[in-house]
Every structure is written in structure tokens, then in C-alpha cells.
Structure 1
Amino acid sequence: MNRNVIICRLILENPAVTQREISQELMVSLGTANSLVKDCIEIELIAPGKMNESYELLPAGKALLNEHKVDGAVIIAAGFGSRFVPLTFETPKGLLEVFGERMIERQIRQLHESGIYDITIVVGYLKEKFEYLIDKYKVKLLYNPEYSKKNTLATIYHARELFKNRNMYLLSSDNWMRHNMYHSYEGGAWYSSSYMEGETSEWCFDYNKKGRILNVTVGGQDKWVMYGPVFFSKSFSDQFLPVLEAYYEIPGTEQFYWENVLMEMLSGETAKRLPEFSEAGREIELYINRRPADEVYEFENLEELRRFDIKYQHRSDNEALELVSKVFSVPESEITEIRCLKAGMTNKSFLFKIKDRHYICRIPGPGTELLINRQQEKAVYDALSQYDITEKVIYFNGETGYKIAEYYEGAHNANPNSLEEIERCMALVREFHKSGIEVSHTFDFQERIDFYENLCRKYGAIPFEDYSDVRSQMCELLNKLEKLGHKKVLSHLDTVVDNFLMLPNGTVRLIDWEYAGMCDPLVDISMCAIYSYYNEEETDRLIEIYLKRTPTTEERYTVYAYMALGGFLWSLWAIYKAFLGEEFGEYTIIMYRYAKTYYKKCMELPNI
């Protein structure tokens, strides 16, 4: 760290700065500050002013400052912010307000106050929400295409050109600084740090007497920890970015933070991974910037934000929390232990606690109003309400699709490889198939295939080369199934094992009846098979478990045909979702293969 730069900057800002103030800024003793000031005078960076209580910045000092002028800032704002659901279902974390001011806007304003106007925001999740900042603050936006798959190592990789040969702040959009800690000039690369008493799981610094960071460890006791903004000097970026670029190419680093690279450089691990950078850890210079207590805030979750800004205890302006508050007749402050559940393919959901019980709130995902008829779903839940088949629904809105249900403590999803659990799941399926429960709507494969096909064609071409041939095969299966004329019963249509809850008391619940309707009951066996990625042998065993006997040829044909049709339908569904920006990896191909494979198996069966 070039302390002379800081002294020159302090004098530029206030010629009457005292040596005590200099010592506080540099975090050195008064005697050391006095010695440093004398050194600056001797090398003609500064001179005593006409009055003994002031200093004058000399041309050499001005030239030194020009070398260390801050060129701009990069603000990371690409992530989802899962610990702030349901707020972040609607609003990126950095756009949440603290004391009536959005966190990212507070940082932009502080940068402007320090003369820094070249600001780029790296966006990803809900990127459109940040567009207004271009007009309001003249910022630039940089899209990170890997924001949903990789961590901040990839974020810095995509923004790396902004740092090369420049002095740049690196900020997180969701930080809140009580005081403006930015400057027009910086003396060297640093990482903001706060002191944590007692045990901490934060990333902790070891550093020498001059403040140079020597090591980073995860967890420690009574330590200065990584907390808040970072400053990349030109020289730091020259040393660090080539290593980061190399790490980006290494398999297994997808979930690395950029700080993981720094940690491995300092520990010597980089020399093992990348021998060409064996000296990188010894050369890298990054200094600790120890900040006073209560200056930098990194809110870990909504509970922390509530404690800091009491507005969030009473009114979050979030539709889901307002709904929960209304349904349970409690203030929002009594909705606690909020956390994001694994996002489904169609919906978003979060867990919360009121008094001594946990519940789940489901929020329909974007575009689902085209795919799901919520009134029909509600009709199914209403029809099943007197039976111990579904989850216990507390609230369901057939217009919006919002659903609140009890959370079953200690429950787990069914294991497709557990014969005992699959037998229990199939027993439940048999139960509602034979219950005589009816609803007024059906699930029509032909209609759904046509519907998804039209949606896909609105966005672009369907990518399968042999699509027209396979579609003709599906029509052949549909015609055959219609001729068989099987009786329709209430069917779930989404019997993925994740929708079966195995309760601690030995009972089973089947949740998420979004696609349910009157259909051939064997369709639920087919859907369970393809969702579990079963092969033919496993599928035949599943049929026998459900029927409790050896299936007839016609029953096998029916299950295979619906496996083919289900695979075809859900592959179209996945293509449509991909057009909307949601990717499900190899799911599309797996489902399409089921369509082709089980059509052939139907053709191999004896005539029925």
C-alpha cells in the first residue's frame, strides 16, 4: 500500500488535515504518521503551508495522485439472492430499499460524490429491472450469461476487460455503507474488512504489519474478515486476472467465488493447479482495509434486514408476504424462518414459520398462466379435500395460483430406487384412481401437444430433425388409445417421485396437482416411469406393483404409449421454457428419447 498516496489525497481534500487524522486514516501510531509526513516533505510531494497548521500539495504529489486516480467501478448485481425470498422473486436484492433508498442507488450516489462516474453494473437475474439506472445515473449494464449456473469467478471473468490497465472498485449491489468510503485516489489494492469477535464462519484474513494480506481462511475466532467493497489497482489486476482467466477454464471451478482464486494463490494451491503461475501467490499485493464497526453491512437474510430497517417488520410491499399476513391474520413481523425451497420447473416456493408451525407458499412462475389452468387445479384440490391424499391446503386462489399448504416436518421425497417406497406410492395412486372422485375437466394429450407445439412455433423452430416423423407416430398412438376406449378417472399426470411425500408416520401424500384431470389411470404409471428415468425392466416392475398382478398386453401397450406421448409432450414443454430463458439440461433429449423408444416398443408388442 502506497501510504504517500493517501497522505497526498488527505492534503488535497483538506490542506489543514492534522497528523492525528492522518494516523487514524492510515491506522498507524501518531509517531509513525509524523515520520511518514516528514518523508513526503523530504521527497517533495508536499510542503508545509504558509501557516504551520496546513500543508501544500506539490507538483510531484499531484503527479503521484494522477497515477493512482480511480477510473471507475464495477457493481456485481447478477445473482438471485435466495436468502431474501420472497422479496427477490419480484425484485433483485440490490434494488431492495434500506431506509427508503435502494442499496445499489446509495452506492452509485456515493461513487458520484467521490467523482467516480464510469460505473458498470453486471446483471443477470431480472436484468430488465436495472435498465432505468442507465437514464437515471448514466451507468452501463453488462450481462453475465452464466449468472444462474456459475458463481462470481465467472462474473469477474465476463467483466475482466473493465479492470485491465485501470484502477477499479469492485462492489456488490447488496452492500450498504453507512458512510462514503470511496475516494478519487487509492494507494493500492485492498479488501474491506470488519472485525468479528468470537467464532465466525466468515472468510478471515491473516496479514503483516503493513496490512498486506498473507492468507485467507474460512472460519476463525476474533478475526478481521472479508466484508464489503474491494479495490483493484492496475498492478493487482495485471497479476490477478491472468490467473482468474486460467481458473475459469478449469473443470470444477464453476461454483468458485473470485475470492477462491485469491485464497489459492496465497496458500500455494495455485502453484499445484497451474505450475505456470507458481510465483503468483508471492507477488500478489492486496491489503486489508480495516473499517470501523457498524460501517459496512452485508445483509445475510431478510431477518437481518428486518432488524436493521424496521419497515420490513411491518410492511415489505411484497405480494406474497402481504398474502401470508392476511391469510393468517398476523403482522409480517411474525412470519419468520423464511427460506427458499428448491425451485420447481413451473413454480417458485418458500418455507416460512408462524408461531410453532411451518408452511409453504407457492408462487406461480412467469408464463405459467398460459400453461396451467388454476381454476381447474383448485377444482381438483376441492374434490380431494375430504381425503388424506394431498398436502393440507390452507389457502388456494384459483385466479392467481397462489397456494399455501402445511409443511410436513421430517418428510422426504420418494426414492425411485426404493421398492418399498414405490409400493407405498402406487398404493396411494390406486386409492384415488378407485375412489370415484371426478372433476369436470379432462387431460387431453392431443390438445396439449397441439398447444405446446403452437407455443414453440411462435418463438422459433422446433429443433428436432425428425420431428414431423415422430409427431406422426404420436398421432398413431393417440388413435389407437382412443379406440381402446378405457374409462377415465381422476389422474395426477405429474407423478414424479419428488411429488410423493413420505411422512414419518408411514403415510404418503401426493402434492402439486397442476396438470390433474380425468384421464386413463395408467397414464400415472407412465409418467412415474419416465420421470424416474426407468428402463423397460423397471417400468414393467412398476406396472406389476400398481396392478398387483402381471399386466395384459393391452395394459403394457397403454403404459408404453403414454410414456411415448408424455416424453413427446414434455420435450415440447421444455423447448418452450428454453425459449423463455429457462434451461433444463438434458431433460429435453431424455424425454424425446422416451417418445421414440416407447413408440417402437409399442410396435413390437403383439396386436391388441
Structure 2
Amino acid sequence: MQKDKDIPQRDIAKQLKISLAYVNKILFDMEHDGFLYTEGVPPFGKKRLTEKALTVFEECRVDNAIIMAAGFGSRFVPLTYATPKGLLEVFGERMIERQIEQLKAAGINDITIVVGYLKETFEYLIDKYGVKFVYNPDFKNKNNLSTLYHVREELKSTYILSSDNWLRENMYHSHEYDSWYSAVKVTGKTKEWILKLGLHDKIMDVKVGGRNGWVMYGPVYFSKEFSDKIRPLIEEAYKRDDTDDWYWEDVYMRNIKALTMFANKQGEHQVYEFESLDEIRLFDSSYLISSHDKWLELISDVFKRPEHSITNLKPLKFGMTNKSFLFEFEGEEYIFRIPGEGTEALINRKEEYEVYKAVSPLHLSDSIIYFDPENGVKISKFIPNSHTADARNPEDLKKCIKVARRLHESGLKVDHSFNLRERMDYYEKIANEKNGIFYNDYREVRLLMNELLEIIENMEKPGVLCHIDLVPDNFIISGDDVHLIDWEYAAMCDPLIDIAMFAIYAYYDNTELENLMELYFQRKPEKYERLRIYCYVALSGFLWALWTCYKEALGVNFGDYGLKMYRYAKDYYKRVKVFICRS
């Protein structure tokens, strides 16, 4: 009525999706409360808004909008390795741009985008639309509760949007009366958050998952009163140690009686939250032809099939060196490996390729479909019904050591070797070049490691093909079959370095290390064997601590992994010295 003072009551009923009788009741109540008056002779006069109504209407003006765009979007790999989900196109239009333009069409020009992952890719929006940026430093480790925490002072009369939503019709307005959450109706089982609704669709309760009902889906509006109430609750929750996985909705759910919000029911085909590439293909058929992603184009080329035959893409847990995703093709599952940040300085992919060819007769490794020796991109068959080895499970441990011994006794050779001194010097060099932060006593400890290097270098020892990266997670166990994957560091070396590597990767204490040695040798180790392994534990720990110094200088965080490795270096240096004194 403020926009179109002569709007027919039937049109009001249609737009609000309520009955004509209910519209008449609302208008009667508004006139009774002083929000309407009749211009002309009743009942033929026109209903007009009073000054009181216009004042209240102005108090409902929307101040701003916040678009959450900090997350990775793991369900859209590999597209989101290069493009944040909000910047993906639907019908030739980027999802975040569509929402910005819808906001602006409603008169909302104060727009803040909270960025994190690939933040630079959003920068052009400042020039194109005059938006503001806020960086969320927690985007890697915390859920979207942290996003609203970092813009908590911007919460007023505010729209809250996800950058990857797609709205068919513009549902934003210059004015809003009360807080709401967009809701759509689902039939059958769902993992979405189901609403229990009361009078006038007030949200009474929220349950995660269930069957049949209205679910939270799409954008949200906070009234100023709602923002003032939820802001301190967000601050309190953010500061807790157990809320890293929380959404802001978790705060709302736990305080629902104090936070009034209504369901803004939307019709079918209005609000979309695409959960996977397969879903977006069903909606935008251009994705059936091409997603314009280089990795999917490569898979298509390798298998000589169109992109739409590549389905069920899922991210795999990030390793310390690489990122990988799972995909399905003609009923078979495969793993696509993309080398991680900075690995080109650490790993010789041509040497890795040579190792894969060398170990092929043993049938120990993963089954390779494609390997690019220039960049290390690899496609291999997924091993179903399998698990990674548990270093503290006796049966798993026996299987792992049996595989390690078989590799060491195979007699296979490659043309390159793993030299600890050279590798330590190199890691130190590249960490320095990237201005890596070293440990305070690094120089002193490096001198101690040099002592151990001299001991090792002066001992007689065999040179066999070793895996080097013998982490328990690289053993894939499927029934009685065991496969050893990720041969990036494999080379000719003393086989006992693999035993030391396995121990430190498993965070073994000395008792567990002693058991590991006996299992490998199938007897008590000789003194010189124990000495070599002690030296390798210290040196390997030091090497990987250096490795983390370099990787963290590139912005990759490994938590306390480097600290644990550095502690192995120090502790086992002492054990070596004590062992030598007693021998």
C-alpha cells in the first residue's frame, strides 16, 4: 500500500498468499489501531496509510546485507579448488552477483561480503558493486558462527545470505517487519533443519534431520531487536572451546525462546542450495557439456567420455602433501590426486613415476590409470571396503610390516637415492628463502643432528628401495590385501629408515618402537641396528620439522605436527648418546 496506494485487496491477498477475508480483517484492525484511514465516503472510500503507519514503516527499513562467502565448498570439488562456490555460474550468471543485484534492486546498497578461502577472487566485486569486505581468519578451522562473529557490529536490520544460494524471484525488500528464515517444504527423509511452527508461522523449535515438513533453506533477515539479542550470544559462543563446528543457527536453536523468528515460506523452485555438481547439472544443463574445470576436462580426456559421465564427486580428507577427490565412472570409483601447495619444490615427480613403474610387478601400490610426471597429477583406482592402517592394532601392524619387509627384500632398484644430509640442507635452504620461522634453538639442534649424520654415514648399511613416507595412513587394508600408496619420496636408502619413519608418523613411544623393531626383524634387534634406528628417528623428526617450517611459510598449517617431530629429534639424540656410552 505504500508503493501502490490503490492496490486492490485481491492483489494484496495474492501477494501475501492469504485469503481475501484475512486481508479484510487485517485492514480493519489496522484502521482500528490508527494505521489506516478512509479517504472518501465509506464503503467506497480508499484506504490510506496514516502518518503513524508511515513512521512505523520507516522504522522497518533494512539497513544492510551480509553475504557469507568464507568457506571452501568441499562438496563442489574439483571446481572449488580454483573457484569459490559463490562465484560458480548458473545460467551464465555468478550466484553471488545475482544476489547482489537482487539486493540492489530492493534498495539495499550497504553490502558486506565475509571472505576467507580464495579471498582474492572476490576482490573485483568492490569495483563492480561497491561492496565491502571483511576477512574471516578462522575460515579453515571454524564454521559460519565465526563469520557472523567477525561482522557482529554490522548486525542491525540485516539480511544474512549465503554466497552460493540461487533465488529465482527477488525476495528482498527495502523494508521488513520482523525476523524470518526462508523455508521450503520437503517430503520424505531429509538432513535439513526441520521447523516446528506456531501461530503466524513463528518458529517454535528446530530439529536437525527428520521427515516431512518446512526446513530452513536460503536467506535470513535479522530485525534490529533480534540482532541486539543474538550479538552477545554469538560473542559468548565464539569464545568457547567446543564451538568450532557450530553454525550461527546453533546459537539460535539454543536460545530460541528469547529470539523471535518466523518462517518465510517459499514456493517450490524458488530457493536453491546446490549440494553437488550432479545437482547443478540437473538444473543448468550447460554443466552436462562442460564445467570449464581443467581437472574434469582431463578426466574426460583420459577416459574418452563426456564430462557428464563423471559423477558422485566427493572430497577426500586432505593429506599433508596433496589434495584428492573421489569420482565415479561407469560404476567404478577412482581417486584424483592434485599435488599440494609448494610440493613442486619438494618432490621430483619424474622420480615418483619411475618408482611406480619399478614396484608394479610387486602389486603393492595403488592401481594407476594416469600419471603426469611433469606435475604429479594422478588418477588411480579406489580400493573399496578398505581402511587405513591403525598403527596400534596388532593385526594391522603385522600386515604393514610384512609389506615393508617384502619391499625391502624385493631387490628392486631405481636410479635415485634418499640422502638425509642433502635433504636437510635443501629444506633449510628453501625455508630460508620463504622467510620461514625456525625454532629458537634450531642452530644448536642442527649441530647435534650433524653428529648423528656422521655416525650414520660411517656405518655399513644396505641400500634398498624404501618408501620413506611410511605413514600408517598410506597402508590401505582391504581384507587380506594391503596396498601401499603415495610413493612420492621413495628412493634407494637404508631400509631401517622406513621403520623409524613409521614410528614417528604413528607417534610411537620407545616401548612401541621396541615392539616395532622386533616385529620387523622377527627377533631382538642387534645393537648396531638399534643405533641406526635411533639415529633415523632423531634425524627424520628433524627433517619433517624443517619440512613444516617451509610449508607453514607458504601458509599451510600443520598444528603441532612440527613440534612433535622436533621433540623426536631432541629426545632420540639423547637416547643415541646414552646408547653409545653404554655400549
TM-score range relative to shorter protein: over 0.9
1:32 maps to what in 2? 22
Task: Provide the rounded CA distance (Å) in 2 between the counterparts of 1:577 and 1:606.
Answer: 35
CA distance in 2, matches of 1:53, 1:517: 92
Q: How does 1:18-417 map to 2 (within 5 A)?
A: 18-47=8-37, 56-163=48-155, 166-266=156-256, 281=257, 283-417=258-392
Mean Cα deviation higher: 311-320 or 214-223: 214-223
Calculate percent identity across the aligned residue pairs. Answer: 48
How far does residue 178 in structure 1 lie from its aligned partner after superposition? 0.3
Q: Does 1:440 align with 2:453?
A: no
Residue 454 (structure 1) shift: 2.2
Q: Deviation per CA, 1:298-350: give whole Å up to 9, x if none.
A: 11112111111112222111111111111111111111121111111111111
Cα distance in 2 for partners of 1:320, 1:14 equals 52
- The aligned residue for residue 573 of structure 1 is 547
In the alignment, which residue of structure 1 is the partner of 2:573?
Answer: 599
On the 8 A contact 1:17/1:54 being kept in 2, the answer is no
Larger mean Cα displacement after TM superposition, 427-436 or 494-503: 427-436
Note the alpha carbon deviations across 1:354-406, whole angstroms, 9 max, x for none.
11211101011122211211111111111122221111111000112110001
Q: In the TM superposition, what whole-angstrom CA distance separates every residue of 1:397-448 from its partner, at most 9, and x where no partner exists?
A: 0112110001111111111012222222112112121222111112222222
Would the alpha carbon gap of residues 577 and 54 (structure 1) be closer, same or farther in structure 2, given more than 3 Å must change?
A: farther
Work out the CA distance in 1 between the residues paired with 2:10 and 2:141.
Answer: 49
Which amino acid in structure 1 is aligned with residue 412 of structure 2? I
1:553, 1:606 within 8 Å by CA — same for their partners in 2?
no
Contact 2:436–2:549 at 8 Å: present in 1 too?
Answer: no
The reply to whether residue 467 of structure 1 matches residue 442 of structure 2 is yes
Tell me what 1:270 maps to.
none
CA contact (8 A) 1:456 1:576 kept: yes
Question: 1:168-199 CA deviation, whole Å, 9 max, x = no partner?
Answer: 10000010000110001011110000011233
Preserved CA contact (<8 Å) 1:240 1:284: yes
C-alpha distance in 2 between matches for 1:53 and 1:25:
22
In the superposition, the TM-score normalised over structure 1's length comes to 0.92
| One-letter code aligned to 1:313 | L
- Determine the C-alpha separation between the residues in 1 that align with 2:442 and 2:144: 39
Q: 1:592 to 1:173 in 2, by over 3 A?
A: same
Q: Which residue of 1 aligns with 2:521?
A: 547
3-state secondary structure, aligned to 2:580 = coil
Counterpart amino acid of residue 512 in structure 2:
E
Name the CA distance, whole Å, in 2 between partners of 1:161 and 1:568. Answer: 45
When structure 1 is superposed on structure 2, of 68-77 and 208-217 the one drifting more is 208-217
Instruction: State the secondary structure of the residue aligned to 1:582.
Output: coil
Gaps of 5+ in 2: none
Verify the 8 A CA contact 1:18 1:53 in the aligned structure 2.
Answer: no
Question: How far apart in 2 are the matches of 1:26 and 1:262?
Answer: 26
- Mapping of 1:529-548 within 5 angstroms? 529-548=503-522
From the superposition, tell whether residues 17 and 576 of structure 1 become closer, same or farther in structure 2 (CA, over 3 Å).
Answer: farther
8 Å contact from structure 1 (residues 350, 361) kept in 2: yes
Contact 2:62-2:157 at 8 Å conserved across structures: yes
**Structure 1 letter corresponding to 2:483:** R
Asked if structure 2 preserves the Cα contact closer than 8 Å seen for 1:68 and 1:187, the reply is: yes
Pick which of 344-353 and 424-433 moved more: 424-433
Aligned to 2:499: 525
Q: Closer, same or farther in 2 for the Cα pair 1:484/1:49, shift >3 Å?
A: farther
Distance 1:601 1:199 in 2: 59
Report the CA distance between 1:221 and its aligned residue.
Answer: 3.0
Residue-by-residue CA offset, 1:243-263 (whole Å, 9 max, x unaligned): 222222333222111111111
Q: 1:559 aligns with which of 529, 533, 548?
A: 533
TM-superposed deviation, 1:219: 2.5
Distance 1:444-1:18 versus aligned 2 partners, 3 A rule? farther
Q: Secondary structure at the match of 2:193?
A: strand
**1:393–1:403 CA contact under 8 A, matched in 2:** yes
Deviations, residues 42-97 of structure 1 (Å, cap 9, x unaligned) = 55545556896965544433322221111110011111111111111111111111
Report deviation, 1:41.
4.0
Would you say the 8 A contact 2:388–2:475 is kept in 1? yes
Instruction: Report the CA distance between 1:560 and its aligned residue.
Output: 1.1
- Matches of 1:158 and 1:434, distance apart in 2: 57
Residue 104 of structure 1 and its aligned partner are, at CA, apart by: 0.6
Q: Of residues 471, 495, 504 in structure 2, which corresponds to 1:496?
A: 471
SS in 2 for 1:512: coil
Secondary structure of the 1:205 match is strand
Give the whole-Å Cα distance in 2 for the aligned partners of 1:486 and 1:501.
Answer: 29
Structure 2-normalised TM-score? Answer: 0.96
Summarize the Cα distance change of 1:222–1:501 in structure 2 as closer, same or farther, 3 Å threshold: closer
CA distance in structure 1 between the aligned counterparts of 2:569 and 2:212, rounded to whole angstroms: 60
Q: Report the residue type matching 2:216 in the other structure.
A: M
Kept in 1: contact 2:182–2:219 (CA 8 A): yes
Q: Which moved further from structure 2: 426-435 or 466-475?
A: 426-435
For residues 419 and 220 of structure 1, the distance between their equivalents in structure 2, rounded to whole angstroms, comes to 40
- Inter-partner Cα distance in structure 1 for 2:302 and 2:328: 13
Q: Distance in 1 between matches of 2:323 and 2:436?
A: 28
| Aligned with residue 584 of structure 1, among 549, 558, 562 | 558
Q: Secondary structure at the match of 1:263?
A: helix
AA aligned to 1:68 is C
> How far apart in 2 are the matches of 1:501 and 1:327?
25
Question: Which residue type is aligned with residue 536 of structure 1?
Answer: N
> Counterparts of 1:132 and 1:55 in 2: how far apart (Å)?
47
Q: What's the CA shift string for 1:176-235, capped at 9, x where partnerless? A: 000110001011110000011233221111122222211111233331110100001100
* Contact 2:342-2:551 at 8 Å conserved across structures: no
Residue 242 of structure 1: SS of its match in structure 2? helix
Q: 2 CA distance for matches of 1:377 and 1:394?
A: 15
Partner Cα separation in structure 1 for residue 103 and residue 47 of structure 2: 26
Amino acid at match of 2:130: K
**Deviation digits for residues 140-178 of structure 1 (CA, Å, limit 9, x no counterpart):** 111111111111222211211110xx2110000010000
CA distance in 2, matches of 1:265, 1:452: 51
Maintained 8 Å contact 2:437/2:553: no
- Would the aligned equivalents of 1:123 and 1:143 in 2 still touch at CA under 8 Å? yes
Give distance in 2, aligned partners of 1:17 and 1:368. 65
What is the distance in 2 between the residues matched to 1:260 and 1:546?
A: 50
Residues 314 and 333, structure 1, Cα contact 8 Å, conserved in 2: yes
Any idea what SS the aligned residue of 1:438 has?
Answer: coil
Instruction: State the secondary structure of the residue aligned to 1:606.
Output: helix
* More displaced stretch, 174-183 vs 553-562: 553-562
1:307 aligned partner, one-letter code: L
